[in-house]
Chain A
Amino acid sequence: MKKRIMAMVMLGCMVLTATGCGSKSSAKTAKTAGTGAAVFNGKLESNVKIRVLENDTAISKGYFKELIDAFNEKYKDKGIEAVDANMDQYLDLANDGPYGYGPDVLYQANDVIMKYAEGKHILPLPVEELDCYDQIPETAWKAYQTKKEGKTYTCGVPVNVQAPQLYYRKDLLPKDWESKWDQDGDKVPDMVQTWKSMYAFSKERHKEDAKSYGYMKSLNDMYFSSGFLFSYGGYIFGKDNTDPSDIGFAEGNAEKGAWVLSQLASVMNEDCIDDTITTNAYSKLADGTYFATISTPDVYSTFLGELEKTYEAEGDTKDEAEKKAKDNLVMTTLPKLPESGSLTDQSDKTIDSKSMGGVNGYAISSYTKAPNACLEFVKFATDYKMIKKRAEMLGIAPAREDTAKKMGGTSSQIYENLDKGNIVLMPSITEVAQIWTPGKTFFVDLAKDVFRTDNKKKYKDEGAMKKGLKDMCDQIREAITTLQ
């Protein structure tokens, strides 16, 4: 498959080179080995400044400084200098780039980068030249591929993977969990391994103390809730998320996912209808009201900080609190789902949980004056050493297999899930912008339904849920097509 992609990219490049001949850039078309845009001719521009737009966290935690310092040191003799572009993360390359205001290299989520690819505002890259090419799984590369005039181009280099994780507190487990909540005897509590156990545990915890809950998460967030649909065969767009005429949230047995969500909502409270739980989760997990929730890996430090504060308030010293919080706060992959969709039936058959995710990575602006120097920077920033440093300093889950394996823990779990296809990457086509609000509306309605009186309930069975999902798909389709 990789070979086929390579061949396609190379073919694309040849065509690009040919088209480039008739234009102003024809002087730059003398091409060495490699694919990507014609401008990547291997001749490093000298005495250039590359403006790099990095992620805010990477800047605030000092990683970016280390990266550009190391790069500038290495390329001092060649007259290439990388600097902070000093721009807002939510820039508009399409409008600023042509006038020389955009960055040369940008680090963004795949959906943002690919939005630019549609208007050719970023360059297709000769990715197989990069050290990381074989280390990054095909799914991650696919997130950066686009088809133009029938050919496939790769427009970004994956760096880190984002996917929802389950957060729970070990010290809130019942004392007898090893005898009661570890049926398979693998020393891992059942409730963080299967949603069925999580449901049973949540019910029990709430029954014992009306103020306490087990698993809590607002349903209104499409990013987290849609994973339940994907697990049972739902998808966003057809043909690997590239065909917006095929909207698949209701496909397969997606209604089972909606049913699981609605069963989970029944052991929460009304807070799951709006974003109350999402905003409260940090403090409520810390004060023990909630046992578990799901969120992205990048907020781990916020959960940790809140928990430390609670322990300190309970009388622990700062060091003790820090250690205790690190021991007790666990971030892990999502539990498995019941094949039947029922959280109460007797069957033990399970399926893997899928979730929506994203890949952040580097791209090069089409408007840069020094494309080859920029490519050199991207090569440097995505090599093993830098990605490892990035993972260590920022706690990200790398898209590179070697670094993920080396980091172990959640990083390698996320990598494995990505490799297995359990992380559904956000589509790279612009139509994806239309899925959020209809999706949110459906999930709010689904959550609300749990608390409606019986005669007002809309989603009484799986059929009704399927219909609700179909309506949501229709709404998305209308939003996409009505005005085209």
Chain B
Amino acid sequence: MKSKGKQWKNFIQHSSLAVKLSMVIMGAGHLRYGAIAKGLIYLMMEVSMVCYFINRGWRDLKGFFTLGDQRTDAWAGIEGDNSIVMLIMGIFAWIVLAAFLYFYVQNIRGAYRMQKRREQGLPQITFRRELSSLLDQKFYVLVLALPVAGVCIFNVLPILFMILIAFTNYGGKVVPPELVDWVGVDNFKKLLVLSKFAPTFGRILSWNLLWAVLSTVLNYFAGLGLALLLNKECVKGKAFWRAFPILAYAIPGFITLLAFKFMFSYGGPINQLIVAHGGKAFGFLDLDARWSARLIGLLVNCWISVPSIMLLATGHLSNRDMTLYEAAKMDGAGRWKQFWKLTMPYMIFATTPVLLGQFIGNFNNFGIFYFLRGGLYMDGYFLASDTDLLINWLYNLSIDNNYYSIGAAISLIIFLITSTISLLVYVKSPSYREEDTFQ
């Protein structure tokens, strides 16, 4: 910190008037030291920035804080503010401002560097040379400039928007043309404190964690097992057998889910069989069917996900170093031991990132219970059923009931949970710690 202050003092003392002028008129230093093109570009930037701010930037920034103060009334022909558009444009203005500040600092630094070169009697780097360096040492800047801008607009902006929504009262009755307001951390407080939410949140979260772990483990081992089985030399017609899981994989998930829902419904084939054999129809997925519905969910998810894991594992298994297995065999290791000591470490090493992806995917698996058992609210749950995951609850709250801000708060929490778990697991995993060893 001290050295920064010193640097700053140094800069003030030693910088020339032209450099100091760059702090007010961008590009002034560059123009003074002969970098006309660059100086003009900086000047243009400042002019456009001023124009942008006069035209709308300033309004957008102000709108970001107020989120509008005139309500639209289409009947009276009053064109009012749209809080949501204002929020988005506000975020955009901040991004523009940040980019401008970056160039502003670059402008002063550049000018100071040129002054130093002049003082040391060194020749100035020409604009042409700087441009050509973009095709050489600084090629990465050229290549990444457009994607970074794209990421800012199409990725960062919506994410920021979603995050910020969690701090507003957007949703319910407060949707345009009504004006939205900032409410701080009220939505998070509601989630934790409100008697309706807190118990539901706790219940759903614990089931969600259990579900994510169980389904990931189940899918992984089932897929690996299937791949190992179909990898065995004694299995005849491997291509033929492999085609079946691929078929299951090729059918869109929601169609599979609706088919399973029908199979387990009261009028479905399974109940028909039970009734035909003198049994009583069983509600596999109905109101009272908490654990049978959860189990069916796990198995159906397995049916949908196993083929992809199997394909992945088949690829990895063919890359194994078979000499290791031969050596192990000679040393007297049985099949089980070979699996735990050779196959598993290798597979875990190779597939940890995929496993994490599976975990996140399962944690946020919206389709399974939406299609299998949607549209029920249970006792003890607020706008949710006992099989719903956080993501389903999020949907019930935000889409069905329009509570966008609460929905955004929940998705932030989901993000925190999943990113913490993934990061911890990944950092601890051999794929990360021994990246170079297991090649």
Chain A positions near chain B (C-beta within 8 angstroms): 16, 19-20, 23-26, 28, 37-39, 94, 98, 119-121, 123-124, 148, 269-271, 273-277, 279-280, 366-367, 430, 433-434, 436-438, 440-441, 444-445, 448, 451, 471, 475, 478-479, 482-484
Contacts and interface: CB of A to CB of B under 8 A. Distances in A.
Contacts of B177: 119-120
Contacts of A94: 175-176
Given A444-B376, A475-B377, A478-B196, A98 B283 contact: no
Contacts of B67: none
Contact of A271 (B75, B266, B402): B266
B315 to A, nearest CB: 41
Given A20-B76, A94-B175, A98-B82, 9 more contacts: A23-B77, A25-B76, A39-B77, A120-B74, A271-B266, A273-B286, A280-B267, A437-B400, A451-B281
A475 B383 CA distance: 8
Nearest to A18: B76
B377 A438 contact: yes
Given A441-B377, A475-B377, A482 B266 contact: no
Contact of B383 (A28, A269, A451, A479): A479
Q: Which 10 A-B pairs have the closest CB atoms?
A: A25-B77, A276-B267, A366-B74, A270-B281, A19-B76, A23-B77, A270-B266, A120-B74, A271-B267, A271-B266
Contacts of A271: 266-267
A11 to B, nearest CB: 14
B376 A437 contact: yes
B73 interface: yes
Contacts of A120: 72-75, 177
B44 interface: no
Contacts of A124: 75
B295 interface: no
Contacts of B196: 478, 482
Given A270-B271, A270-B281, A444-B287, A20 B400 contact: no
Contacts of A451: 281
B89 interface: no
Contacts of B197: 482
B118 interface: no
A269 B77 contact: no
Range, interface on chain B: 35 or more
Contact of A23 (B76, B171, B286): B76
B287 A448 contact: yes
Nearest to A116: B74
A269 B76 contact: no
Contacts of A98: 72, 82
B401 interface: yes
Contacts of B171: 483
Contacts of B402: 433
Interface in B372-427: 375-379, 382-383, 396, 400-403, 406
B176 A119 contact: yes
27 contacts: A24-B77, A25-B77, A28-B77, A37-B75, A38-B76, A98-B72, A119-B175, A119-B177, A120-B73, A120-B75, A121-B74, A271-B267, A273-B286, A274-B266, A274-B285, A276-B265, A437-B376, A437-B377, A441-B376, A444-B376, A448-B286, A475-B377, A479-B401, A482-B197, A483-B172, A483-B190, A484-B173
Contact of A433 (B77, B82, B377, B401): B401
A273 B264 CA distance: 13
B333 interface: no
Contacts of B69: none
Nearest to A36: B75
B288 interface: yes
A448 B283 contact: yes
Interface in B332-384: 375-379, 382-383
Interface of B: 72-79, 82, 171-173, 175-178, 190, 194, 196-197, 265-268, 271, 281, 283, 285-288, 375-379, 382-383, 396, 400-403, 406
Contact of B286 (A38, A269, A274, A484): A274
A266 B78 CA distance: 58
B255 to A, nearest CB: 16
A269 B177 CA distance: 49
Given A433-B401, A445-B287, A483-B406, A440 B375 contact: yes
A483 B378 contact: no
Given A94-B176, A483-B171, A276 B75 contact: no
Nearest to B284: A274
Contacts of B400: 433, 437
Contacts of B266: 269-271, 273-274, 276
Contacts of B396: 437
Contacts of B379: 471
Given A270-B283, A271-B267, A273-B266, A24 B378 contact: no
A482 B287 contact: no
Contacts of A475: 377
Contacts of A433: 400-402
B77 to A, nearest CB: 3
Residue among B72, B76, B79 with max Cβ neighbours from chain A (10 Å): B76
Given A94-B176, A119-B176, A444-B287, A38 B403 contact: no
Contacts of B378: 441
A28 B76 CA distance: 11
A478 B382 contact: yes
B194 A482 contact: yes
B243 to A, nearest CB: 32
Given A366-B74, A448-B287, A274 B406 contact: no
A451 B282 CA distance: 10
Contacts of B172: 483-484
B190 A23 contact: no
A23 B71 CA distance: 13
A41 to B, nearest CB: 13
Find the residue from A120, A280, A475, A478 having the highest chain B CB count within 10 A: A120
A262 to B, nearest CB: 15
Contacts of B271: 270
Given A38-B77, A438-B377, A440-B375, A482 B382 contact: yes
A209 to B, nearest CB: 15
Contacts of A123: 74-75
B392 to A, nearest CB: 12
Contacts of A366: 74-75
A23 B377 contact: no
Contacts of B176: 94, 119
A430 B175 CA distance: 12
B344 to A, nearest CB: 42
Contacts of A483: 171-172, 190, 401, 403, 406
A23 B70 CA distance: 13
Nearest to A272: B266
A345 B164 CA distance: 62
A275 B382 CA distance: 24
Contacts of B375: 436-437, 440
Contacts of A19: 73, 76, 78
A270 B82 CA distance: 50
A276 B78 CA distance: 51
Nearest to B79: A24
Nearest to A471: B379
Contacts of A20: 76-77
